[in-house]
Structure formats: C-alpha cells, structure tokens
Amino acid sequence: MSEKTTDALQTAIDQALKADRPRLAKYLSIETVAAKHLGIEETVSVIEQSLQELGAEVEVWRDIPGSNPFVFGTLPAGPNGNSDKTLLFYNHYDVQPAEPLDEWDSEPFQLTEKNGQYVARGVSDDKGEFMLRLSAVKALQATGGLPCNLKFILEGEEEVGSPHIEPMTKKHGAALAADAIIWETGGKDADENFQVTCGVKGTASFNVTAKSAESDLHSSLAAFVDNAVWRLVQGLSTLRGPKGEVLVDGFNDGVKPLTPTEQAAVDQLPFNEEATRKNFGLKLPLLSDKPAEALINRPTITINGISGGYEGNGLKTVLPKEARAQLDCRLVPGQDPRHVSELVQQQLDKNGFSDLHVSYNQGEPAFRSDLTDSFVQTAVATAHEVYGDAVKLVPNAGGSGPQAPFFEAVGVPIIDVGSTWAGSGAHAPNENVRVSDYVQAARYTARVLQNFGEK
Amino acid sequence: MSEKTTDALQTAIDQALKADRPRLAKYLSIETVAAKHLGIEETVSVIEQSLQELGAEVEVWRDIPGSNPFVFGTLPAGPNGNSDKTLLFYNHYDVQPAEPLDEWDSEPFQLTEKNGQYVARGVSDDKGEFMLRLSAVKALQATGGLPCNLKFILEGEEEVGSPHIEPMTKKHGAALAADAIIWETGGKDADENFQVTCGVKGTASFNVTAKSAESDLHSSLAAFVDNAVWRLVQGLSTLRGPKGEVLVDGFNDGVKPLTPTEQAAVDQLPFNEEATRKNFGLKLPLLSDKPAEALINRPTITINGISGGYEGNGLKTVLPKEARAQLDCRLVPGQDPRHVSELVQQQLDKNGFSDLHVSYNQGEPAFRSDLTDSFVQTAVATAHEVYGDAVKLVPNAGGSGPQAPFFEAVGVPIIDVGSTWAGSGAHAPNENVRVSDYVQAARYTARVLQNFGEK
C-alpha cells in the first residue's frame, strides 16, 4: 500500500464522514430506548435506507417471537464482486435511557459538537460506531472498491441483555456465515492505548431468597425464632472468601489456564491503581494484586443488591419474615451460566442453608477468540499501522455480550474495536466520542477490510 | 377477708366499671398517637379530671425539654389517711397508630363491645388498663376506704421508645418515691395462665454501615474492587452462630446465672411449640430447646433490616457502593446498651471488618425485680386468690420498657399485671380485651392494694 493510496483513502474518508454527518445526526435524534419500547420502527427505516444507499440487500427479520426486529444486510465486494472473504459486522440500534436528564449539558437526542467531541446518547454505544463503519465502506467504494464481502446484523435489544440473540443465531446461522466478525464497542483505554479485544466475559444472574415465617414478628422472639435476613446473610457469606474468592465447589471445573499467548497479552496490559482508586473513589484495598489479569480471567460472585426487613428511617424492632438478594457471577470460558447457579444452590445446601432458594434469572457464557488466528493478527497489525505503538491485544473484555451464540452459529473469530475513549461515558450523561477518534476509527475500519480482503 | 366483704367489693367494682364506662369510651375516642403528635392536651385533660374526681392532687410536668407532658397524681389512703405504704402505678396515655385501617372491623377510636370483647385502639395497651385501675380505686373508696397511699405517673411517649423517661426520673425521683410499682401491661398467656411479670428485657439498637466507593460501579469490576454489600454481609455473619449465639467478646460479661427462684419460675412456664409454629407460620427449626427460658434470659442479636445496591425489579449488574443494616440486641440484667454496641464495633474490628461502622441509636437496660421480695409474693398470692391455680410467676417479659430508670430512682420492685389475653393484638388491628378479663383485672387490682396495705 503506497503513501499515495493512503492519502486518497483518507481524503475519501473525510469526504464520506462529512457527507454522512446529517444521517448520523438523524440516527442519533431517535430515542431508541429498548427498555421504553421507543422509536424502533423509525430507527429500523434509517438503517435500511442507509444500507441500501451503499448497494446492500437488506432484510428485516421479524420472525423471532417477542423480539425487536433484526436488520440484516449483505454487500458484495466490488465494484465487480471478486473476493471470497466475508466479514460480518455486529451492531445494535437501541440505546440506554438518557436519564438523569438534568446531568446533560446538551440535548441527549441531538448531536452536539463541542470541545472536539460529538455528544449524544448512543454516539459511542453504539449508533455512532455503526455509522462510521458505513462511512468507511463508502470511502472504500470511492477508492478502488470494497475489498471483501460484507454482512451487517443489527439488533435492537442489546441494552436489555440481548434476550433474543440466541434464537436468532440458531434460526439464521446460515445467513450469518462469514470468515470473521467485528463486534461493537471498543477503542482507547485510560492510557490512550487502542485495544483489539477478542472476547467477553460471561454472566450468570440469579436471586437468592429466604423465608422464615408468615409474618414479620416482634424481635423479642429472636430468643428462639430464626430470621430470614440472618439466614440470607449467613448463607451468602459462605460463598465468598475475604479476597473475593468464589467458594463454590465445581465453580472452576472446565476452566483452562490462559494460553501462553493470552498470558503474554495480559502481562503487557497496564493498570494504573492510583487513577482507578481516584476515579471510583475506592475505600478498600484491591481484591487482586493482578487487577488487569483479574478483570479478564477471574470469575467473580457479586451481590448486586440485598433487602429484607425494615428499611425505613427510625427504629422498628422487627424480626423479618423474608429477605432477598440479587447476585451475578462474571464467568470465563468453560463455565456455564445455568450450571453455575445450580452449583450455588448445591453449595448452600452443603453448607447447611438448604432453606435458601436460588432462582436463575439469565446469563450468557464467556467467549474468547483464538489470539493466534490470522484475522486477530491482521487486526493487531492494522492497529499498529493506524495507531502506532499504543496498541494492546486484550484476550477479552471485563464486560459481557452475546458473542458465544454468534460463535456457535458462525464459528469464526470475533474482535471488538471502536471509537470510544476512557471518558466516553457509554451509559452516562454527556455520552461522547472525540471527533479525532471517530475519524481514526473509520480509517482503521477501512484499513482492516483492505488488509483482510487482500490476504 | 370474709365472703361478705368480698361480695361487697365485687358489687362496688361492677358499679364503678359501669359508672366509668362513658369515661373509658371518651378516653379511647382520642387519637393519642405520639408518632403523629395528636390529641396530647385533650388526653392530658381527661386524665387530670379523672384523677381529681377520685380526690387526687395532680401535677402536669412540662419541664422535660422536648417531651410530651407527664401527668403525676397522688392520692392518700383513707378516708382518713392512715397507711405508711405507698404504691406507684405507671401507665402511658399514647397509643400505636391504628393503621392499617381497612383491617379493622369497627372504628378504631370508638369503644365497641362485641362478642364479649371491648374493641378499640388502646383498650389493651394501655388506656383501658389505666381506667380499670381508677375504677378499682373508686370501688375501694366505696367499700371501707383506700388501703394504701397511691401515686400515678403517666407518660405520653411509650410507643415511641420512652425517650424522656430517664431525664424525668432523674429530675422527679423524690416525688415518685414509693414502696412498690405496678407497671402497665400483662394478663393471661396462650394457656390462660395469669402472669405476674417482674421485669423486662433490655434493648440496644444500632446501625451498621459499609461504604466501598463513591459511586455504584459496573459489576465487571468485582474482579478487583470490593463491594459494600459483601463487606456488610461477611462482617455481620461473624457476629452470630448458627443457633443464634451472639459471637461478640465480652457480650455476656456481667450477666449472672438465674437465681434458684428465677430458675424455678422459668422451669414451670409452659411452651406450646406446635401452636407457636402455627401462629407465626414458622419455616425453620427453633433456635433453642428451652424457648420459654430463652425468651426470658437469652440475649439476642437481630438484623431488623438490611439494604444495599439494586433492589428494584429486573436486573441491574451493579457493584454497590454502600450498604446498611439496622440491628437490635435484647439484653438481660448486667448488660449495658451503649457498651454492647461498642463491643460489636470492637468485634468487627477484631474480625477484620474495621471498615464497617457501628452507630448506636437507642436502648434501655433490662430490669428484673427480686422474686423473693414480699410485694412480689403478695402479688402472686393475690393472683391465686383471684385466678385460682392458673398463675405463673415470670421473672421478666421478653419485651422491653423503661423500668430500669424507675428502679434507679425509686429502688423498689416492679411488677407488670393487666387485663390482656393472648389474642389482644396490642399493636394490631382490632385491639381488644375480653370484658370478663377487664372485670377480673379490676378485682385483682383492688385486692392487691388491700393485701399490700394490710401487710
């Protein structure tokens, strides 16, 4: 690739981004909050038209019961269709609620450019990312053609846990067939390293409840009557060691140690304890002396919330009849969400707390691409080309997402790359991306497609 | 005491109760809810007039800052003032809120007679009891005279924890001087035994709080960031054994074993496990194989309520920044409420949870009269005279009350006797006393005064 071609590509990217900006603004102006069932059809129309303008064939899948529509697009390499490589882009068109509204400095559903940033709900997660991908495709079409076949799949329920991804991938796996998948999200870490992330942690969410009596009782009866809150507190406390160790038999069965390549990737990840402590206002010692590795490869058990008995102001000397907690586990490859919640029940039973009841809510398994795969290598090499030395290969994110059912259906590596930075505030007020990152991510997207198509 | 005298007394009691019924109805018609600051002055007026009608000197003490007024009355023996014995009656004029209103079968603040019961808020706890004591005094005055000097003290904040009793007894201890005290409440147990109860358990109420960060965080960070709810759950779990044992060093220091008399009294108390399990809908094994003794003499630690993190419906994978619990301890003689809460903090520190913060709310020490005291013996002997064999001497109630500051100021035995039964529902809808119990309790009151005055 000569300097001349590179310059022509950049000019085309700049032109495409400029031309596409009104469409980006329109897409962001729709309040597509899945949790509120808002704006779904209007958003689907914008996506459909946007893909069609590039020449894509578009299908809107409405055949998964209870699901928001999936939008699926195919766009052949070309102008003359001459690649045997296909890449699938995953994005989602729903966004988080904008609340709390009074913490926004501008209108959440109006694209605002300020201090070198685009600000709007969804500009980082994930509407902006989809639109920059389309601009990158347009730039490629304007400079020699699309170097590979593309597929696009967009869902509208990512922010509510992607409850219909699995039935969709089971039903439409053949249509989704590709040689590699680029996932949503990703970008630069707190030290401005561009991350090529190759997977997600899994989750298992479940409730634990206790019941000791038919009604709340006077606490004088504690002399001989047990108490649901005590049962819950004492049962839960047996599940976790003081440093966050998960004390559930069989919990780690099936988990493999990191491969040498994964371990090497983890070992070069930075962790700034001082900045982390300050940003989050942490009051307690860290639970791990290898926090970067723990985020990637340590399974966890977390009480998300607990309640029981009298929670008002003032005093009430009550003996509570019932108590409940919501927990989640973050999982690594080899762990099954539903099995994990069964193991928790078994452990409580073994520990003398068979009166506590575990009920599984939902979950998704972890996923990690093979870091030695050639597509991962291409993604990393392209990152160095665009971002220089400040590139990190990350085996998987600390967060979760429905990558496992995609891998099951398509069977190819998945990477997360995007335009976010450490201050993007994906689910917070004043969600933003830096304009320079947006441009750079479009370039990265175009160059990855070229390098992938050429191999 | 001849049969003839007894009959004359009963006739006088029946007449007094009949004559006093409109006053009972008026007293119950005032919604004297301390928690709502309702009806205080009107209620004080009714008490003042009622005592004056019997010939008592009445003072309304308004000199304790922040307190509802105390009403204090003195009534000499007589007609001709000839006893060196003085008995002090303690009652309270405030009542619990009537809510939930829709669970009442009649108007809560209207005396209703139905199925042999008087029904109204306060008829059992404690307005009815005060009025039956006045009727007993009237009957004695009509049949040979009052056999001892009487004092009356009424407070208006018992249902909110008697926060001003201690300053009052410190200030007015001399005025309260007496040879014995009859407390509010008491009556018949579930097996229809009339109880002469000689004290109360103590309480210590405190909060325990945990804070781990300045904001709630994403639960993926649980890989290395600790969690306030886990800290609270794990810290609290170290304070109590599986059978309710309090695992706090020094907690039982100063507690003496039951005396042989106390032990003998405890040993003859009935406990119907089947009925208790059924009434309360208990789901778990009892924490003690001597429940009757435990209720009287086992200190406890109870989580009254706990909360932290996400408590809504649906899922939220949050790492909570803070958590809190409210606890109470029920105490026995020899334990100091404030010291107990300090010991809990010390134990948490020792157990590795110095980040948990214990803050004392309020409390009152336990109190137990000397069961071998002659007044206690008189009360029991009189109970057998009025109630036959079905009489139990109870060293102290399972519940609490501000008896300790009275004992400190006056230094004499205190007994709880009254007109309630197991179904009175003191703090519940349809609070009631059985009319026959009400009459019997008036007779018991009159006979205790006679037997006490004669000695």
DSSP-derived letter for residue A289 is S
d(CA B418, CA B444): 9
A392 touches chain B (CB under 8 A): no
Taking all residues of chain B, what is their mean pLDDT, rounded to a whole number?
94
Identify whether the C-beta of residue B207 lies closer than 8 Å to the C-beta of residue B410. Answer: no
Identify whether the C-beta of residue B240 lies closer than 8 Å to the C-beta of residue B234. Answer: no
In three-state secondary structure terms, B241 is: coil
A240 touches chain B (CB under 8 A): yes
Same domain assignment for residues A400 and A307: no
Give domain status of residue B266, yes or no.
Answer: no
At residue A318, the pLDDT reads: 86
Same domain assignment for residues B27 and B173: yes
Give domain status of residue A270, yes or no.
Answer: no
Identify the H or E element spanning B330. Answer: strand B322-331
d(CA B226, CA A244): 7
Same domain assignment for residues B167 and B66: yes
A284 touches chain B (CB under 8 A): yes
Same domain assignment for residues B254 and B164: no
Least confident residue range of A80-84, A222-226, A306-310, B70-74: A80-84
Q: Which of A224, A280, A294 sits opposite B287 (nearest CB)?
A: A224
Give domain status of residue B122, yes or no.
Answer: yes
d(CA A8, CA A15): 11
Predicted confidence band of residue B279 (pLDDT cuts 50, 70, 90): confident
Position A368 pLDDT exceeds 50: yes
Give domain status of residue A277, yes or no.
Answer: no
Give the structural domain span for B174: 3-200+366-454
Q: Do B288 and A400 touch (CB under 8 A)?
A: no
Which residues in A lie closer than 8 A to residue B306 (C-beta atoms)? 229, 233, 306-309, 311, 323
Indicate the residue among B364, B380, B411 that finishes a domain. B364
Model pLDDT for residues A44-57, shown as the tens digit of each residue: 999 999 999 999 99
Give domain status of residue B309, yes or no.
Answer: yes
Same domain assignment for residues A346 and A386: no
Predicted confidence band of residue A1 (pLDDT cuts 50, 70, 90): very low
d(CA A397, CA A385): 23
Position A109 pLDDT exceeds 80: yes
At residue A3, the pLDDT reads: 47
Block residue for tokens 């709310």: B361
Indicate the residue among A342, A364, A386 that finishes a domain. A364
Same domain assignment for residues B216 and B180: no
Q: What is the mean pLDDT of residues A273-295?
A: 94
Residue type, B194: F
d(CA A359, CA A361): 6
Position A11 pLDDT exceeds 60: yes
Q: Do A300 and B226 touch (CB under 8 A)?
A: no
Number of other residues whose CB lies within 10 A of the CB of residue A37 = 10
Q: Where are the alpha helices (DSSP H) in B241-330?
A: 260-267, 273-280, 291-297
Predicted confidence band of residue B437 (pLDDT cuts 50, 70, 90): very high
Tokens coding A379: 């993604």
From B296, which residue of chain A is nearest by alpha-carbon distance? A223
Position A119 pLDDT exceeds 60: yes
Model pLDDT for residues A394-445, shown as the tens digit of each residue: 999 999 999 999 999 999 999 999 999 988 988 888 999 999 999 999 999 9
Model pLDDT for residues B227-258, shown as the tens digit of each residue: 999 999 999 999 999 999 999 999 999 999 99
B111 touches chain A (CB under 8 A): no
**CB within 8 Å of chain A, chain B residues 285-324:** 285-288, 291, 294-296, 298, 300-312, 315-321, 323
Indicate the residue among B336, B364, B392 that finishes a domain. B364
Q: Which of B205, B303, B328 sits opposite A230 (nearest CB)?
A: B303
Same domain assignment for residues A441 and A358: no
B306 Cα to chain A: minimum distance (Å)? 5
Residue type, A10: Q
Q: Do A229 and B205 touch (CB under 8 A)?
A: no
d(CA A92, CA A176): 15
Taking all residues of chain A, what is their mean pLDDT, rounded to a whole number?
94
From A361, which residue of chain B is nearest by alpha-carbon distance? B315
Model pLDDT for residues A424-436, shown as the tens digit of each residue: 988 888 999 999 9
Identify the H or E element spanning A446. Answer: helix A435-454
Identify whether the C-beta of residue A54 lies closer than 8 Å to the C-beta of residue A141. Answer: yes
Predicted confidence band of residue A2 (pLDDT cuts 50, 70, 90): very low
Instruction: Give percent above pLDDT 70 in chain B.
Output: 97
CATH of the domain at B450: 3.40.630.10
Instruction: Give percent above pLDDT 70 in chain A.
Output: 97
Q: Do B281 and A399 touch (CB under 8 A)?
A: no
Residue type, B400: S
Rg, chain B, Cα only: 24
At residue B80, the pLDDT reads: 65
Model pLDDT for residues A176-198, shown as the tens digit of each residue: 999 999 999 899 998 999 999 99
Query: Considering its fold, how many domains does chain A have in total?
Result: 2
Q: What is the mean pLDDT of residues B390-396?
A: 97
Q: What is the mean pLDDT of residues A202-207?
A: 95
Tokens coding B430: 């349809």
Same domain assignment for residues A43 and A154: yes
Position A5 pLDDT exceeds 60: no
CATH of the domain at A354: 3.30.70.360
At residue A314, the pLDDT reads: 66
| Best residue of A227, A289, A303, A341 to probe chain B, by most B CBs closer than 10 Å | A303
Position B37 pLDDT exceeds 60: yes
Q: Which of A211, A330, A352 sits opposite B222 (nearest CB)?
A: A330
A281 touches chain B (CB under 8 A): yes
Predicted confidence band of residue A206 (pLDDT cuts 50, 70, 90): very high
Same domain assignment for residues B56 and B142: yes
**CB within 8 Å of chain A, chain B residues 399-418:** 399-400
Q: What is the mean pLDDT of residues A292-310?
A: 95
At residue B2, the pLDDT reads: 43
At residue A82, the pLDDT reads: 78
Q: Do B304 and A295 touch (CB under 8 A)?
A: no
B355 touches chain A (CB under 8 A): yes
E strand map for B353-437: 357-364, 367-368, 391-394, 414-416, 432-434
At residue B256, the pLDDT reads: 92
d(CA B183, CA B175): 17
Identify the H or E element spanning B28. Answer: helix B3-29
From the list A363, A397, A402, A425, the residue with the least C-alpha distance to A158 is A402
Identify whether the C-beta of residue B210 lies closer than 8 Å to the C-beta of residue B228. Answer: yes
Which residues in B lie closer than 8 A to residue A161 (C-beta atoms)? 315
CA distances from A305 to A64, A207, A339 (A): 32, 10, 22
At residue B235, the pLDDT reads: 98
| Best residue of A96, A219, A245, A316 to probe chain B, by most B CBs closer than 10 Å | A219
Predicted confidence band of residue A455 (pLDDT cuts 50, 70, 90): low
Give domain status of residue B275, yes or no.
Answer: no
Burial class of residue A8 (count of CB atoms within 10 Å of its CB; 0-12, 13-18, 19+): middle
At residue B305, the pLDDT reads: 95
Same domain assignment for residues A193 and A85: yes
d(CA B444, CA B10): 10
Position B3 pLDDT exceeds 70: no
Position B5 pLDDT exceeds 70: no
Same domain assignment for residues B19 and B162: yes
- Torsions phi, psi for A153 (to 5 deg): -130, 125
Number of other residues whose CB lies within 10 A of the CB of residue A85 = 18
A374 Cα to chain B: minimum distance (Å)? 29
**CB within 8 Å of chain B, chain A residues 144-183:** 161
State the sign of the Cα–Cα–Cα–Cα dihedral B340, B345, B348, B352.
negative
DSSP-derived letter for residue A75 is E
At residue A36, the pLDDT reads: 83
Give domain status of residue A276, yes or no.
Answer: no
Model pLDDT for residues B12-24, shown as the tens digit of each residue: 999 999 999 999 9
Least confident residue range of A223-237, A427-441, B311-325, B327-341: B311-325
Q: What is the mean pLDDT of residues B290-297?
A: 96
Give domain status of residue A274, yes or no.
Answer: no
Tokens coding A103: 């913490």
Q: Which of B223, B281, B399 sits opposite A291 (nearest CB)?
A: B223
At residue A443, the pLDDT reads: 97
Q: Which of B212, B220, B362 sits opposite A330 (nearest CB)?
A: B220
d(CA B302, CA A230): 8
Q: Which of A213, A234, A326 sits opposite B282 (nearest CB)?
A: A213
d(CA B114, CA B430): 11
At residue A108, the pLDDT reads: 96
CB pairs under 8 A between A and B: 260
Model pLDDT for residues A213-266, shown as the tens digit of each residue: 988 888 999 999 999 999 999 999 999 999 999 999 999 999 999 999 999 999
Identify the H or E element spanning B233. Answer: helix B228-237
From the list B194, B227, B222, the residue with the least C-alpha distance to B210 is B227
Number of other residues whose CB lies within 10 A of the CB of residue A68 = 25
Q: Do B295 and A221 touch (CB under 8 A)?
A: yes
Same domain assignment for residues A124 and A221: no
Which residues in B lie closer than 8 A to residue A400 (C-beta atoms)? 220
> Any bridge partners for residue B197, and if so which?
B394, B416
Q: What is the mean pLDDT of residues B62-70?
A: 97
Predicted confidence band of residue A14 (pLDDT cuts 50, 70, 90): very high
At residue A81, the pLDDT reads: 62
E strand map for B188-317: 194-197, 199-200, 202-211, 217-218, 300-309
Identify whether the C-beta of residue B316 lies closer than 8 Å to the C-beta of residue B302. Answer: no
Identify whether the C-beta of residue A343 lies closer than 8 Å to the C-beta of residue B330. Answer: no
Tokens coding B245: 């044992």
Number of other residues whose CB lies within 10 A of the CB of residue A38 = 15
